[in-house]
Every structure is written in structure tokens, then in C-alpha cells.
Amino acid sequence: MSPQHEMIDRPTLLLDKGRCLANIHRMAEICSQHSLSFRPHFKTHQSLEVGRWFRPYDVEKIAVSSVSMAEYFAEDWDDIMIAIPTNLRELARIDQLAKKCSLHILIEHSELIPILAKALHTSITVHIEIDAGYGRTGVDSTEIELIRSMIEGLSAKKNLRFGGFVIHNGHSYDARSVHEIRAIHHDSMDKLNELKHSFPEAHISLGDTPACSTALNFGLVDELRPGNFVFYDLTQLAIGSCQADDIAVAVACPIIAIYPDRHEIIVNAGGIHLSKDRLGIPGIGDIYGQLADMQGHHIGSLLKETYVKKLSQEHGTIHVPNPTDYRRGQLVYILPVHSCMVVDLMPYYLCAGERIEIFKHK
């Protein structure tokens, strides 16, 4: 146990600033090498302070996943994309916020255009979400005529400006190797190239961390919009997006019970701290985290053959190869399966002994 953590009595989210800065640096370099603009998605870290760590890379625009989050980040940022199809029940708040910053919103259907034109009194940039294979939201990339009519519809409204195409290839999360990520990305690039052929002037923003982290080229894409890369996690490690020592957050958890015969330790941290998001590991099954070493304020190596196998509300059951190495009251450090979800659950980061608040409005 790290001597820096003597005061920790509850599950606590630790942030390794060195790893996080390296992740930001690496993604900024990727954008620079490919001459892409960089609009980091802040839904993962949800923190004004962590957001400021992007400033040295001349980042001037961001993406978020809700109007509430946009309102929060508008304190620091002048150019914000709410990267989710527009919720028609929030138009009054969107209209208010557009007075304070350059606001970008998404649509995935033409029926929103007259509604937006009527409800919004401030000029706003509207992007069309394109589905390039994920199958969640967006206009199918092959629907050229529909897309053309939407662009024309937007251009006909004086308070709406067509901003370009936004793509999130979330199916890259099903990949389990760099090769598989690149295959999905390549397929998506083919679709976007056809789209660009029909709309050569349209700006294209691409989102997913796996492709942004590993692709060899980005075709006719103009902007990268990844979020998870700022911390990565065990899922990204399994996908092939990162290395184990890129993972920048860990949850410090007190041991409350030990069962040597079962090769299990029980920590006082459960689904309300680690989330119930899971990762399937061949030969083991679903896991909810894995232990790592801690060296001072720095996250160390993954501990082999350790995995969180079960979560209740406030209990976590961890398989360990050598249960006698542990004692009640000791802290262990769990790397999360999905960092975005864990950050959302926790009230603050502890970063080299300092508290960094996390946005807490839903």
C-alpha cells in the first residue's frame, strides 16, 4: 500500500496525472501528424481542471454528451459540440447556451430542422450524424439524397448553419486486436470517402477512441473527437487501443474480508463505485476490474491473475492467486473496465494528494 494513501478510508478514484498527460500528448501528436483538428470529448473526465490540461496543445474546441455538461464546460470553453442527437425537450436551454458560446448540435432526422428553426433564436451550427456501420443513431451513410435534402433544409434557415458530418463508430469496441480495429475503421473510411465524394465541402468529425488511437490513416476526415483515450481502461486494453501502462485511473479500495480457500478477497467497493460494466475474458468470464500496483502516486503494473469477479452494491469479490499476501484494512487498487462509467460514479479524483472535483449534474 502506498504511504501516500494512509488517509483513504472509502473507495477513492485515483488519477495518475503523468499517464493522463502522456495520453493527451499522444493523441495531440496523432492529430498533428495527420493534419487533423482535435476536438476532445470531455464526457470521460467531466472535469474543468483536467480539461485545462489540453490547453498547451492549442485545443480550442471540445465535445460533450449532454446539455448539462455543455453548460458546465462553457465556463472555460467557447466552442462546444453536444455530440448526441438533440433532445427536443432541451431546446430552451440550448438556445440560452448558444448565446454564451459557439454551440454545435446534432440531428439524425430531417423532421428536427423546422422545429429547431422555430425554437432557436440564436444562430447555431447543426451537424448531421452519419451512421457508418455502428447501427445506434445517425443517417445511413448511403442515403445521399436524404442527406442532401437535410443540408439544403438547414441552409434555408437563417438561424441554422450546416456544420458537417459527425460519426461515432462504436462498433470498434467489439474489436479485440489492432487488426480488427483497423478493419472496422477501413470499412468506415470507404463509406465516408463516398460521402465526401457527394459533399466535398462537408467537414467530417470522427469519434471513437479505438480508431483514433491506432488507425494508420484517416482518409478524408477533418477532425478527431475521442474521449476515453484520456484515461483508457481494461476494455481499451482488450480492444488493443492502449497498453496497460496507459491506464490513468484506479480505484483505491479497502479490503474488508479474505477467504484464502476460495482465493478471494472482498473489498468495500461495489457496483455504485466500479459500475456494473463488464469485460468478457476468454476462459474466465465477465470481470469488473483488475488489480494494479501503486508506487507513490503512480499506478504501477497490472497484477497477473487478479480480477474482480462479482459486484454487489458495496461489496466487490476479487480473485487473487495469493490471498495470504493481503490483510483486512489494506488498500488494493482496481483498474476499471470502463473509465467513463467509474468517473461518472465517483465524486472526485485524488491526484497526487489533491482533490479534483468531477461534474455532478445529470
Question: Residue 347 interacts with a second copy (CB under 8 A)?
Answer: yes
- Nearest residue to 169 via CA among 234, 218, 127: 218
Q: Which of residues 281-320 bind a second copy (CB under 8 A)?
A: 310, 312-315, 317
Binding track over 208-247 against a second copy, x by CB under 8 A: ----------------------------------------
| Choices 14-22, 203-211, 239-247, 265-273 (CB under 8 A): range interacting with a second copy | 265-273
Strands (E), 211-263: 223-224, 249-259
The Cα 273–Cα 292 span in angstroms is: 17
Of these, 292, 340, 350, 351, which contacts a second copy (CB under 8 A)?
A: 340
Answer for the pair 131, 189: CB distance below 8 angstroms, yes or no.
no
Helix, strand, coil proportions of the chain in percent (round to 5)? 35, 30, 35
Burial class of residue 92 (count of CB atoms within 10 Å of its CB; 0-12, 13-18, 19+): exposed
Of these, 32, 58, 88, 148, which contacts a second copy (CB under 8 A)?
A: 88
Question: Residue 158 interacts with a second copy (CB under 8 A)?
Answer: no
Question: Residue 112 interacts with a second copy (CB under 8 A)?
Answer: yes
Q: Which of residues 115-154 bind a second copy (CB under 8 A)?
A: 135-137
Side-chain-side CA neighbours of residue 60 (13 Å): 4
Displacement of CA 158 from its chain's centroid (Å): 34
Question: Residue 79 interacts with a second copy (CB under 8 A)?
Answer: no
Question: Residue 249 interacts with a second copy (CB under 8 A)?
Answer: no
- Between CA 280 and CA 357, with CA 308 as vertex, the angle to 5 degrees is 105
Query: Would residue 232 be called left, alpha or beta, if left means φ above 0 and alpha means ψ between -120 and 50 degrees?
Result: left
Q: How far is the CB of 4 from a second copy (least distance, A)?
A: 15
Question: Residue 47 interacts with a second copy (CB under 8 A)?
Answer: no
The Cα 154–Cα 138 span in angstroms is: 16
Q: Would you say the C-alpha torsion 152, 156, 162, 168 has a positive or negative sign?
A: negative
Question: Residue 62 interacts with a second copy (CB under 8 A)?
Answer: no
| Choices 55-63, 80-88, 198-206, 299-307 (CB under 8 A): range interacting with a second copy | 80-88
Answer for the pair 319, 306: CB distance below 8 angstroms, yes or no.
yes
Query: Which residue, 111 or 145, has its beta carbon nearer to a second copy?
Result: 111
Q: Binders of a second copy: how many residues, by CB under 8 A?
A: 56
The Cα 171–Cα 185 span in angstroms is: 10
Question: Residue 108 interacts with a second copy (CB under 8 A)?
Answer: yes
Of these, 321, 329, 354, 357, which contacts a second copy (CB under 8 A)?
A: 329
Of these, 93, 171, 186, 203, which contacts a second copy (CB under 8 A)?
A: 93
Compute and round to an integer the Cα radius of gyration of the chain: 22
Query: Which residue, 42 or 77, has its beta carbon nearer to a second copy?
Result: 42
Instruction: Render 85-137 in DSSP notation, one character per residue.
Output: E--GGGHHHHHHHTTTSEEEEEESSTTHHHHHHHH--S-EEEEEEEESS--SS
Of these, 49, 76, 222, 344, which contacts a second copy (CB under 8 A)?
A: 344
Q: How far is the CB of 35 from a second copy (least distance, A)?
A: 29
Grid coordinates in use for 1? 500500500
Q: How far is the CB of 110 from a second copy (least distance, A)?
A: 11
The Cα 354–Cα 362 span in angstroms is: 25
Binding track over 172-211 against a second copy, x by CB under 8 A: ----------------------------------------
Question: Residue 37 interacts with a second copy (CB under 8 A)?
Answer: no
In the complex, the residues that contact a second copy under the rule CB under 8 A are 8-11, 43, 65-66, 68, 84-90, 93, 108-109, 111-112, 135-137, 170, 254, 256-258, 262, 266, 268, 271-273, 275-278, 310, 312-315, 317, 328-329, 331, 340-341, 344-347, 360-362
